[in-house]
A and B are shown apart, each in its own frame.
Chain A
Amino acid sequence: DAGVIQSPRHEVTEMGQEVTLRCKPISGHDYLFWYRQTMMRGLELLIYFNNNVPIDDSGMPEDRFSAKMPNASFSTLKIQPSEPRDSAVYFCASSPRAGGYTFGSGTRLTVV
Chain B
Amino acid sequence: QQQVKQSPQSLIVQKGGISIINCAYENTAFDYFPWYQQFPGKGPALLIAIRPDVSEKKEGRFTISFNKSAKQFSLHIMDSQPGDSATYFCAASLNSGGSNYKLTFGKGTLLTVNP
**Chain A complexes with chain B:** yes
Where the two chains meet, the residues of A that have a C-beta atom closer than 8 Å to any C-beta of B are: 4, 31, 33, 42-43, 45, 48, 50, 55-56, 91, 93, 95, 97-98, 100-106
CB proximity of A57 to chain B, nearest CB, Å? 12
Query: How far does the Cβ of A105 sit from chain B's closest Cβ, in whole Å?
Result: 5
> Which A-chain residue is minimally distant from B46 (CB atoms)?
A100
Interface of B is mostly: loop
Q: With the chains together, A71 CA to B46 CA distance in Å?
A: 26
Partner of A101, one of B42, B103, B108: B103
A77 to chain B, nearest CB (A): 15
Distance in angstroms between the alpha carbons of A56 and B43 in the assembled complex: 22
CB neighbours of A102 from chain B (8 A):
45-46
Asked whether B102 lies within 8 Å of A33 as measured between CB atoms, the reply is yes
- Contact pick for A97, options B41, B49, B97, B104, CB 8 Å: B97
What are 8 pairs between A and B in contact, CB < 8 Å? A31-B101, A33-B102, A33-B103, A42-B107, A43-B108, A91-B44, A98-B101, A104-B43
Residues of A within 8 A of B49 (CB): 100
Q: With A42-B108, A100-B34 known to touch, is A55 a contact of B44 (CB < 8 Å)?
A: no
Query: When each residue 91-102 of chain B gets 1 if its CB lies under 8 Å from chain A and 0 otherwise, what string results?
Result: 000001111111
Give the dominant DSSP class at A's interface: strand
Cβ of B43 and Cβ of A48 under 8 Å apart? no
How many residues of B are counted as interface, with CB atoms below 8 angstroms from the partner's CB atoms? 24
A105-B102 in contact (CB<8A): no
Q: A42-B107, A43-B89, A97-B97 are in contact. Are A103 and B102 (CB under 8 A)?
A: no
The reply on B66 being an interface residue by CB < 8 A is no
Q: How far is the CA of A56 from the CA of B102 in the complex (A)?
A: 9
Apart from A98-B98, A100-B34, 8 more pairs, CB < 8 Å: A45-B102, A50-B100, A56-B100, A56-B102, A91-B43, A97-B101, A100-B49, A103-B36
The 7 closest A-B pairs by CB, nearest first: A103-B43, A100-B46, A43-B105, A98-B97, A42-B107, A98-B96, A103-B44
